[in-house]
Copies of this chain bind each other. A is one copy, B any other.
Amino acid sequence: MDYATQYQEYLARVNRALETACDAFLPEESEVCRAARYSLLGGGKRIRAVLVLAVCDMLNGDAAAAEQFAAAVEMLHCYSLIHDDLPCMDNDDLRRGKPSCHKAFGEATAMLAGDVLLTEAFEVIANVEAPAIVNVRAAKALGAGAGSRGMVYGQELDLKYEALAATEEQLRLIHRNKTGALINAAVQMGAAAAQANETQCKELEAYAFGIGLVFQIVDDVLDVTGSQEQLGKPIGSDSENDKTTFVTLYGTDGAMELAQKLNDRTCASLRAEFGEKSAFLEQLAKELLVRRS
């Protein structure tokens, strides 16, 4: 199966798993849950969820468990976007080309919708029918990636350095936490579904943080070179806010060169550990590098 077909197949499985999770954990009679569904089911590339499935596949793991972990990481990611868009944070009115959650449902409901997605992400994991150790490993990975030594810490650093000049080191620290940590959680949840060993988990961690950084560098570039139509969100927001980015540090060409170099290294290392079975994950890394949205 070629990469694009495989991606679509994973995506279809992710979306089915999300529908199942919604039916079980986000009942329609609740306005808060309707707001959560509005944001959760509103499309998106589902990169984190696809990573869960692809890693599990590469390691011949439990596909049914991985599908539910994929739903969980997507719910977690969605909560972070809803809270990030709120007026007290980034105050963004648009998300994926439509009104952000608080614009559509009001602030209180949007905040609770984020809270409910975060809570239910962990409940989805707890309810997976697998050896209990698999659930526990997945919950540990998600907690570590999403919390105080991961994504939330990244959001804090992002707010803190927004107005200040940031060095490359600070930028990397922000991105490692804000983006890399949750991508690593996704990858480790796929590994949990396959009960992967420590060496495999370590190699996958390097892959996760590698593609996370490339993703962010390309994000910085697209904020300058992309269009609002392609991205589904306003462009130029970084320079408007005087943010330091990889583009302000190295220019668009320099930033893309850095991303290319990082990506080559990440893919070579992955192939050295997993051989030809890593083909999909390598291609995914390359797609993140050449993406236009």
Q: A residues engaging B (CB < 8 A)?
A: 25-27, 30-33, 36, 79, 83, 86, 88-89, 107-109, 111-112, 114-116, 118-120, 122-123, 125-127, 131-133, 135-136, 139-140, 142-144, 146-149, 152-153, 155-156, 159-160
Contact = CB atoms under 8 A, between A and B. Distances in A.
Number of copies: 2
A119 B86 contact: no
A26 to B, nearest CB: 6
Chief secondary structure at chain A's binding surface: helix
Given A111-B83, A118-B118, A147-B116, A123 B140 contact: yes
Contacts of A127: 140, 143
A112 B155 contact: yes
Contacts of A114: 115
**Which 5 interchain pairs have the tightest Cβ spacing?**
A123-B143, A132-B132, A88-B107, A126-B139, A119-B147
Nearest to A146: B119
A118 B120 contact: no
A125 B125 CA distance: 13
